[in-house]
Amino acid sequence: MAKFKNHILVCAGTGCRASQSELIVENLNRAIEDNNLGDEVQVVRTGCFGFCEKGPVVKMMPDNTFYVQVTPADASELVTEHIVKGRKVNRLLYVDPDSHKVISDSKEMGFYKKQIRIALRNCGFINPENVDEYIARDGYAALGKALTEMTPEQVIKEIIDSGLRGRGGGGFPTGLKWDITRKVKADQKYVVCNADEGDPGAFMDRSILEGDPHSVIEAMAINGYCTGASKGLVYIRAEYPLAIERLKIAIKQAREYGLLGENIFGSDFCFDIELRYGAGAFVCGEETSLIHSMEGLRGEPNVKPPFPSESGYKGKPTNVNNVETYANIPVILLNGSKWFSAIGTEKSKGTKVFALAGKVNNVGLIEVPMGTTLREVIFDIGGGIKDGKKFKAVQTGGPSGGCLTEKHLDIPIDYDSLLACGSMMGSGGMIVMDEDDCMVAMAKFYLEFTVEESCGKCTPCRIGNKRLHEILEKITQGKGTKEDLTLLRNLSYVIKDTSLCGLGQTSPNPVLSTMENFADEYEAHVVDGKCPAGQCKALMQYVIDPEACVGCTLCSRVCPVDAISGEKKMAHIINPAICIKCGACMEKCKFNAISIQ
Amino acid sequence: MANIKLPDNKKKELKEVCAKLNNDPGELINALHAAQGLFGYLPAEVQELVAQEMNVSVAHVYGVVTFYSFFSMTPKGEHPISICMGTACYVRGAEKVLDEFKKLLNVKVGETTPDGKFSLSCLRCVGACGLAPVVTVGDKVFGRVAPEDVKTILEEYNN
Ligand SMILES: Cc1cc2nc3c(=O)[nH]c(=O)nc-3n(C[C@H](O)[C@H](O)[C@H](O)COP(=O)(O)O)c2cc1C
Ligand code: SF4
Ligand code: FES
């Protein structure tokens, strides 16, 4: 193998690939050829660096120079300047938006400063399609250690002591789950990885699978050793073609190296992994639905207990864990439970990966120690709100979570404190909203999702959520009453209390939390007939300022429904009864005379 | 009810896929993924064939196909357009982009243009939230799409 002096790391995650990072790789390779540097410089396609906002990202090693928003046309300059002449290409470096200073080392950027990468330790560092690079960073050492030096009980004790809790949403202690699965007697057991990631706006698990698939494979094998399972199944969304591809490659390589298959590390432990594909149903992220789906059935949940640990896939004990939960396992075994439990808060140990998105400056994938505050995440890491607007709310926990506000910004992020203020950790989606977002419309958006995704098995969720959605629709149309608000609240509690699975039990959370934190906004909709954020179309009015209008007649000519009248050279008026609020007039007006009220 | 004639070679291929899955009813969803890959969608005739090969009733297959949104019973357009309606895209204005597509193509969500060229659908998060709002046309991903860009995107495919 040739020893390379320089490595150029190019992000090949879904986000950066969408901005042509493949072409950047091609052009870099061509430039390297042209400069006869083929023996010295290697281009590596890596998983997500996390800083998706500034993608495509290209990182130069060994000097750690971090280039942002690179285009394919920049490739040859990067090679001739940075590599050949040793000069940084300044225009592609990151500029700190506050200090306006150029920062070339990612460790110095606000976005990375407060992060600790455990689950994402390899994302953006290794080529996920090459098992040797994973092994070079201590990959499969934890599996080797478990198989040759530890008993299953010792491994499980280490996981219990670490305090690791499930990252899929529920936060159940992982070691305990493993122990339960281990203790059930059966001729066959299964290890399942939940890679369904249904929360829209979340992409943590996908990034781990794309950037570091072997860590999940290794952890599943360790679980198999502990629980006595010889078969692993990864349930992955069909919408994630790149993650599927990388997993397939990783499984194949692991088999070739004898890290999967018969007698792993010379022990009598045998283990192999297969893939099962989801088909676009959110409820299949729920573990009992997931198991039904893997059995070729409609993905409808069951009443628990029995839990999958007792009776799961094909009626056998099945250990279901989330992708990120697994990704933590190998490091815990290598560094020890003490190291892990020193990070985080009293009841939530370690770190959590979040997909930070919405109206923040730095959209991306971040990993922070438990106990970091929302303020640090949104303002220090996220770089504050886009376009200098005002922060309004942040939704954690996706459609099952709640909207948190200004007053929650300083609470430490962990399972229990988020639950205490009416939201939840969820799988790690974090959507930031600004003053332009209407909270009633937001609740409606989430309910629309729930209604679409309810499996229909139980009545409160199937019918109740539909009614909730209808009431919210009525309110955003300006036809809501005060009684509707009471109804909305009562119905929400009924749905929470009586639904069969976690989907229905949490679906009213966005409604309840917005009603609690933005009561005045609901009031404004039903009492004053106004949408303070100016988002609900039915409650908006386009008006012409008679002072500013010069009577050019342009607006009345573009109005598709003839709602505007007025003499030439005289102020015009819009008839609200006819206006369909398309905004065409406002767009055309050259005198800024038309506004929304 | 069978009124579409399925090409024999594709039928054969599907049967081979099912055989590879040991005609095990537990593998039904994998079989349907393969079938949709082969035929582009899952009309009644394909569902009947899958049922027969996987040893389950047609009703069971239909139940599964209609449960999962990834499976479609209508053919897609030559260029399937999907607007991401995930939360990240929604808060960055995906709805306006969708409205623009509806207006310019004159179809509703889930429909195909009469010439079969474009079909319009929504999906939830393609995982490129950093580029929100996101639109995909076939395999190509367009990021940071503004309503004004919709016309240009369509023109790219219109000649
Ligand atoms: C409606 C619903 C959707 C869920 N979606 C996911 C998901 O997408 N990914 C996931 O890992 N867990 C999801 N879960 C949680 C799983 O049921 C399960 O608790 C988890 O996979 C267990 O793994 P963990 O202990 O490692 O978190 C969901 C639960 C519910 C009720
Ligand atoms: S709560 Fe909703 S998703 Fe869950 S079983 Fe009932 S209907 Fe299905
Ligand atoms: S929400 Fe649209 S790509 Fe994630």
Domains of chain A: 6-108 (3.40.30.10), 131-340 (3.40.50.11540), 351-434 (3.10.20.600), 439-528 (1.20.1440.230), 541-596 (3.30.70.20)
Burial tier of A320 (Cβ tally within 10 Å: 0-12, 13-18, 19+): buried
Does the CB atom of residue B141 touch ligand 3 within 6 A? no
Q: Judge: A299–B68 Cβ closer than 8 Å, yes or no.
A: yes
Indicate the SS3 state at residue B91.
helix
Closest CA to A376 of A412, A350, A341, A403: A412
Q: Are A161 and A289 in contact (CB under 8 A)?
A: no
Q: Beta partners for A277?
A: A236
CA distance A462 to A445: 17
Q: Beta partners for A364?
A: A356
Q: How confident is the model at residue A1, as a pLDDT?
A: 42
User: In chain A, which residues have their Cβ closer than 8 Å to the Cβ of B62?
Assistant: none
CA distance B37 to B43: 13
Give strand ranges (E) for A12-93: 41-46, 58-61, 65-67
DSSP letters for A71-100? -GGGHHHIIIIIIII----GGGBEE-TTT-
Reported confidence tier of residue B2, pLDDT bands at 50, 70, 90: very low
Say how many residues make up chain B: 159
The ligand placed nearest to the CA atom of residue A288 is 1
Calculate how far, in angstroms, residue B90's C-alpha sits from the geometric centre of ligand 3: 8
Distance in Å, alpha carbon of A567 to nearest chain B alpha carbon: 31
> C-alpha distances in angstroms, A550 versus A563, A576, A590?
18, 20, 10
Q: Please report the atom of ligand 3 found closest to the CA of residue B87.
A: 1
Q: How confident is the model at residue A597, as a pLDDT?
A: 78
> C-alpha distances in angstroms, A456 versus A200, A450, B71?
20, 11, 18
Taking CA A519 as the corner, what is the angle to CA A513 and CA A522, rounded to the nearest 5 degrees?
A: 105
Closest CA to A444 of A383, A502, A525: A525
> Across the 597 residues of chain A, what is the mean pLDDT of every consecutive 10-residue run?
82 86 95 93 92 90 92 95 93 90 89 94 94 96 97 98 94 97 97 92 90 97 98 93 94 97 96 94 95 95 94 97 98 97 96 94 93 96 93 93 94 93 90 94 94 95 97 94 96 97 96 96 93 87 90 90 91 90 86 87
Q: Please report the atom of ligand 1 found closest to the CA of residue A177.
A: 25
Does the CB atom of residue A427 touch ligand 1 within 6 A? yes
Q: Dihedral of CA B135/A510/A495/A539: which sign?
A: negative
Q: Judge: B130–A281 Cβ closer than 8 Å, yes or no.
A: no
CA distance A12 to A15: 8
Closest CA to A389 of A348, A432, A346, A424: A432
DSSP letters for A482-527? HHHHHHHHHHHHHHHHH-SSHHHHHTTHHHHHHHHHTHHHHHIIII
The ligand placed nearest to the CA atom of residue A398 is 1
Asked if the C-beta of A383 comes within 8 angstroms of chain B's C-beta atoms, the answer is: no
Indicate the SS3 state at residue A434.
strand
Q: Judge: B92–A359 Cβ closer than 8 Å, yes or no.
A: yes
Asked if the C-beta of B34 comes within 8 angstroms of chain A's C-beta atoms, the answer is: no
> Could you say which DSSP state residue A120 is in?
T
Distance in Å, alpha carbon of B6 to nearest chain A alpha carbon: 24
Closest CA to A593 of A542, A557, A559: A542
Distance in Å, alpha carbon of A32 to nearest chain B alpha carbon: 28
The torsion angle over the Cα atoms of residues A471, A423, B126 and A501, rounded to 10 degrees, is: -70
Q: Judge: A279–B33 Cβ closer than 8 Å, yes or no.
A: yes
Q: Judge: B129–A437 Cβ closer than 8 Å, yes or no.
A: no
pLDDT tens-place string over residues B88-134: 899 999 999 999 999 999 999 988 999 999 999 998 888 788 888 99
Atom 1 (ligand 2) nearest CA? A504
Q: Are A131 and A253 in contact (CB under 8 A)?
A: yes
CA distance A106 to A65: 7
Calculate how far, in angstroms, residue A205's C-alpha sits from the geometric centre of ligand 3: 14
Calculate how far, in angstroms, residue A452's C-alpha sits from the geometric centre of ligand 2: 11
**A302: number of Cβ within 10 Å:** 18
Asked if the C-beta of A580 comes within 8 angstroms of chain B's C-beta atoms, the answer is: no
Asked if the C-beta of B21 comes within 8 angstroms of chain A's C-beta atoms, the answer is: no
Phi, psi of A176 (to 5 degrees): -60, -45
Q: Please report the atom of ligand 2 found closest to the CA of residue A453.
A: 3
Q: How confident is the model at residue B61, as a pLDDT?
A: 97
| CATH number for the domain running over B79-157 | 3.40.30.10
Distance in Å, alpha carbon of B107 to nearest chain A alpha carbon: 18
Taking CA B112 as the corner, what is the angle to CA B111 and CA B117, rounded to the nearest 5 degrees?
A: 160
Give strand ranges (E) for A381-443: 391-396, 402-405, 429-434
> Could you say which DSSP state residue A461 is in?
I
Q: Please report the atom of ligand 1 found closest to the CA of residue A505.
A: 31
Query: By CA distance, what is B95's nearest residue in A?
Result: A445
> C-alpha distances in angstroms, A81 versus A32, A78, A92, A326, B95?
12, 5, 12, 41, 43
The best mutation among A297, A457, A465, A497 to test binding of ligand 2, ranked by most ligand atoms within 8 Å of the C-beta, falls on: A457
Phi-psi category of B24—alpha, beta or left, where left has phi over 0 and alpha has psi -120 to 50?
A: beta
Taking CA A579 as the corner, what is the angle to CA A575 and CA A584, rounded to the nearest 5 degrees?
A: 115
Q: Provide the residue type at A135 as one letter.
A: I
Instruction: Extract the tokens encoding B117.
Output: 């060229």
> C-alpha distances in angstroms, A100 versus A50, A293, A403, B42?
22, 52, 33, 55
The ligand placed nearest to the CA atom of residue A427 is 1
User: In chain A, which residues have their Cβ closer than 8 Å to the Cβ of B29?
Assistant: 276-277, 279, 293-294, 296
Asked if the C-beta of B6 comes within 8 angstroms of chain A's C-beta atoms, the answer is: no
> To which H or E segment does residue A25 belong?
helix A21-34
Indicate the SS3 state at residue A59.
strand
Q: Helix A213-227 vs helix A323-335: angle between axes, to the nearest 10 degrees?
A: 80
CA distance A567 to A247: 68
Q: Are A76 and A27 in contact (CB under 8 A)?
A: yes
Contacts of B5 (CB under 8 A, 6+ apart): none
Distance in Å, alpha carbon of B150 to nearest chain A alpha carbon: 17
Q: How confident is the model at residue A588, as a pLDDT?
A: 86
Q: How confident is the model at residue A2, as a pLDDT?
A: 52
> Could you say which DSSP state residue B26 is in?
G
The best mutation among A172, A322, A499 to test binding of ligand 1, ranked by most ligand atoms within 8 Å of the C-beta, falls on: A322
A-B C-beta contacts closer than 8 Å: 133
Calculate how far, in angstroms, residue B135's C-alpha sits from the geometric centre of ligand 3: 9
CA distance A334 to A319: 22
Q: Are A457 and A463 in contact (CB under 8 A)?
A: no
Closest partner residue to A201 (CB to CB) among B70, B71, B88 is B88
* Pairs from B40-45 (Cβ < 8 Å, separation ≥ 24): B40/B75, B40/B76, B41/B72, B41/B73, B41/B74, B41/B75, B41/B76, B42/B71, B42/B72, B42/B73, B43/B4, B43/B73, B43/B75, B44/B1, B44/B2, B44/B4, B44/B73, B45/B2, B45/B3, B45/B4, B45/B6
Closest partner residue to B130 (CB to CB) among A55, A277, A445 is A55
**At which residue do the structure tokens 């319009």 appear?**
B120
Does the CB atom of residue A456 touch ligand 2 within 6 A? yes
User: In chain A, which residues have their Cβ closer than 8 Å to the Cβ of B53?
Assistant: none
**A367: number of Cβ within 10 Å:** 23
> C-alpha distances in angstroms, A462 versus A468, A504, A505, A586?
11, 8, 12, 41
Q: How many CA atoms lie within 13 A of A490 on its CB side?
A: 6
Instruction: Extract the tokens encoding B110.
Output: 């889930």
Residue numbers of A between 128 and 167 with CB closer than 8 Å to B? none
DSSP letters for A331-396? HHHHH-HHHHHTSB-SSSBSEEEEEEEESBSS-EEEEEETT-BHHIIIIIIS-SBGGG--EEEEEE
Query: By CA distance, what is B103's nearest residue in A?
Result: A582
User: In chain A, which residues have their Cβ closer than 8 Å to the Cβ of B86?
Assistant: 200-201
Does the CB atom of residue A322 touch ligand 1 within 6 A? yes
Distance in Å, alpha carbon of B139 to nearest chain A alpha carbon: 10
Say how many residues make up chain A: 597
